[in-house]
Chains A and B, each alone.
Chain A
Amino acid sequence: MLRQFGLKKSPWVVHFNCNSCNGCDIELLACLSPLYDLERFGIIHVGNPKHADVLLVTGSVNHRNARVLKNVYDQMPEPKAVVAVGVCASTGGIFRECYNVLGGIEEVVPVDVFVPGCPARPEAVIDGIVKAAEKLDLRRRGQPVSRPSLVPETHEPSPKPAAPPETVPATPASPAAPVAAPAELAKTP
Chain B
Amino acid sequence: MSQRTTIPFGPQHPVFPEPIQLRLILEDERVVEALPAIGYVHRGLEKLAEQKDFQQDVFLIERICGICSFMHAMNYCQGIEQLLGLAVPERAKYLRLIWAELHRMHSHLLFLALLADSFGFENLFMQTLRCREEILDLMEITAGNRIMLTTCCIGGVRKDITPDQLKRIGTGLDRAQASLRELGGAFAKDYTIQRRLKGIGVLTREKAHELGAVGPVAKASGLAMDLRQTGYAPYPELGFNPITETNGDAYARMMVRLRELDQSAELIRAAMGRLPDTPLSVPFKGNPTGEVAARIEQSRGELLFFIKANGSKNLERFRARTPTFANLAPLLHMLPGCELADVPVIVVSIDPCISCTER
Q: Report if A and B touch in the complex (beta carbons < 8 A).
A: yes
Chain A contact residues, CB within 8 Å of chain B? 14, 16-27, 29-30, 32-35, 45-49, 59-60, 62, 64-65, 68, 72, 94-95, 97-101, 118-119, 121
B65: which of A22, A46, A60 is its contact (CB, 8 Å)?
A22
Comparing B92-100, B129-137, B200-208, the segment that makes contact with chain A is: B129-137
7 interchain pairs, CB-CB under 8 A? A23-B66, A24-B66, A30-B129, A30-B146, A34-B127, A35-B129, A98-B45
B48: which of A21, A59, A97 is its contact (CB, 8 Å)?
A97
Residues of A close to B110: CB separation below 8 A:
26, 29
Verify A95–B113 contact, CB threshold 8 A. Answer: no
Main secondary structure on B side of the interface with A? loop
Verify A68–B130 contact, CB threshold 8 A. Answer: no
Contacts known (A33-B130, A99-B44); A25 close to B11, Cβ less than 8 A: no
Comparing B12-20, B188-196, B251-259, the segment that makes contact with chain A is: B12-20
How many chain B residues touch the partner (CB < 8 A)?
42
A59 to B12, CA, bound (A): 14
Contacts known (A21-B66, A29-B129); A68 close to B17, Cβ less than 8 A: no
Is B282 at the interface (CB under 8 A from chain A)? Answer: no
Is B67 at the interface (CB under 8 A from chain A)? Answer: yes
A100 to B63, CA, bound (A): 16
Verify A45–B133 contact, CB threshold 8 A. Answer: no
A49 to B39, CA, bound (A): 22
Contacts known (A101-B43, A118-B148); A22 close to B355, Cβ less than 8 A: yes
A95: which of B12, B17, B48 is its contact (CB, 8 Å)?
B48
* Beta-carbon nearest neighbor of B137 in chain A: A35
Residues of A close to B12: CB separation below 8 A:
14, 16, 49, 68, 72
Residues of A close to B130: CB separation below 8 A:
33-35
Taking the closest CB of chain A, its distance from the CB of B186, in whole angstroms, is 16
Taking the closest CB of chain B, its distance from the CB of A96, in whole angstroms, is 9
B31-50: contact bitstring with A at CB < 8 Å (1 yes, 0 no)? Answer: 00000000111111101100
Residues of B close to A46: CB separation below 8 A:
14
Q: Which 5 pairs of residues, A with B, have the shortest CB-CB distance?
A: A47-B14, A23-B66, A33-B129, A98-B44, A22-B66
Verify B13–A62 contact, CB threshold 8 A. Answer: no
Taking the closest CB of chain B, its distance from the CB of A151, in whole angstroms, is 20
* Beta-carbon nearest neighbor of A86 in chain B: B66
Is B126 at the interface (CB under 8 A from chain A)? Answer: yes
Contacts known (A17-B19, A23-B69, A68-B19); A30 close to B39, Cβ less than 8 A: no
A114 to B241, CA, bound (A): 46
Is B119 at the interface (CB under 8 A from chain A)? Answer: no
Verify B129–A95 contact, CB threshold 8 A. Answer: no
Verify B40–A64 contact, CB threshold 8 A. Answer: yes
Is B154 at the interface (CB under 8 A from chain A)? Answer: no
Given contacts A33-B130, A45-B14, A65-B41, 12 further A-B contacts (CB under 8 A): A16-B19, A17-B17, A21-B69, A26-B17, A47-B13, A60-B43, A65-B19, A95-B63, A100-B44, A118-B63, A119-B146, A119-B147
Is B143 at the interface (CB under 8 A from chain A)? Answer: no
A47 to B125, CA, bound (A): 16
Verify B113–A94 contact, CB threshold 8 A. Answer: no
A-facing residues in B311-341 (Cβ within 8 Å): none
Verify A33–B126 contact, CB threshold 8 A. Answer: yes
* Beta-carbon nearest neighbor of B48 in chain A: A98
A27: which of B18, B146, B355 is its contact (CB, 8 Å)?
B146
Is B235 at the interface (CB under 8 A from chain A)? Answer: no
A113 to B333, CA, bound (A): 42
Residues of B close to A45: CB separation below 8 A:
14
Verify B18–A121 contact, CB threshold 8 A. Answer: no
B147: which of A18, A27, A60, A62 is its contact (CB, 8 Å)?
A27
Is B84 at the interface (CB under 8 A from chain A)? Answer: no
A97 to B63, CA, bound (A): 14
A48 to B15, CA, bound (A): 11
Is B176 at the interface (CB under 8 A from chain A)? Answer: no
Residues of A close to B132: CB separation below 8 A:
30, 33
